[in-house]
Amino acid sequence: MSTVLIVAVIVVFVAVVAAFLHFGPGRGTGRGSLRRRFGPEYDRVLARHDGDTKATEAELGARVERHGSLTVSRLTPETRERYVARWTGLQEQFVDAPQQAAYEAERLVGALAHERGFPAADDQENHLDALSVHHPHHVNGYRTLHSSVRDGGGTEELRAAFLEARGLFGELVSTRDHDPDRGPGRAPGRQKVLPVRHHAKGEGA
């Protein structure tokens, strides 16, 4: 084998290794890796961009660049139990005060996310973008709860949003390390179905 050919083979090998070390398995920002990583969030952003994959990939790639290296803090057992107890209490409160319970549930998820190291909820765009990078399969439930509370949704709408947001709450309060490339995890404990209070005619939701 000639010296030139040997040098060429070495150059190609070094380039391949460098690319692998830079991107790593599942860490690239190409179309396939972004779709795998973001799942339903990819489809949501694609719809918002009217099917423009280039704009979708640019937005999601930028999110990964900004928030992909975020260090998620662990919860102490005491803190975890405090959040779980508060969530359980809000589920019970929902029966008599759905609007207030949903509002407080949204704030509770925001506080929990911030305690784990995500941007604060008052910086809504960065808050949701960071959560979408690390919890893409559950962030939309939290978004839905925020919208329902903001728009004054009816009891059934709030109930559905409350339950959907429980997926993100479960991920954030979990004791396991979350890998966004592995897909959705399971919320801890059994899913409790929120009862709906049936109001008398003319009574508000």
pLDDT in tens, the chain (205 residues): 565 444 444 444 444 334 333 334 334 455 578 999 999 999 999 999 999 999 999 999 999 999 999 999 999 999 999 999 999 999 999 999 999 999 999 999 999 999 999 999 999 999 999 999 999 999 999 999 999 999 999 999 999 999 999 999 999 998 765 555 555 544 444 444 454 444 433 444 3
- The percent helix, strand, coil of the chain (3-state, each to 5) is 65, 0, 35
Is pTM beyond 0.75 here? no
Question: Is the same domain home to 110 and 158?
Answer: yes
With respect to residue 13, please indicate whether it lies within any of the assigned structural domains.
no
Question: Is the same domain home to 173 and 99?
Answer: yes
Question: Is the same domain home to 117 and 147?
Answer: yes
With respect to residue 9, please indicate whether it lies within any of the assigned structural domains.
no
d(CA 161, CA 72): 25
Q: How many domains does the structure of the chain reveal? A: 2
* Residue-wise burial string across 126-150, b where 16 or more C-beta atoms lie within 10 A, e elsewhere: bbbbbbbbbbbbbbbbbbbbbebbe
Question: Is the same domain home to 103 and 46?
Answer: no
With respect to residue 14, please indicate whether it lies within any of the assigned structural domains.
no
d(CA 97, CA 24): 48
Q: How confident is the model at residue 3, as a pLDDT?
A: 55
Q: Which domain holds residue 39?
A: 30-60
Name the residue among 2, 148, 172, 8 with its Cα closest to residue 74. 172
Question: Is the same domain home to 126 and 50?
Answer: no
Question: Is the same domain home to 40 and 136?
Answer: no
How many helices (H) and strands (E) in the chain?
Answer: 9, 0
With respect to residue 81, please indicate whether it lies within any of the assigned structural domains.
yes
Question: Is the same domain home to 90 and 162?
Answer: yes
Neighbours of 160 (CB within 10 A): 16
Question: Is the same domain home to 49 and 91?
Answer: no
Question: Is the same domain home to 51 and 114?
Answer: no
Q: How confident is the model at residue 23, as a pLDDT?
A: 38
Question: Is the same domain home to 50 and 85?
Answer: no
Q: How confident is the model at residue 178, as a pLDDT?
A: 56
Question: Is the same domain home to 120 and 154?
Answer: yes
Question: Is the same domain home to 35 and 86?
Answer: no
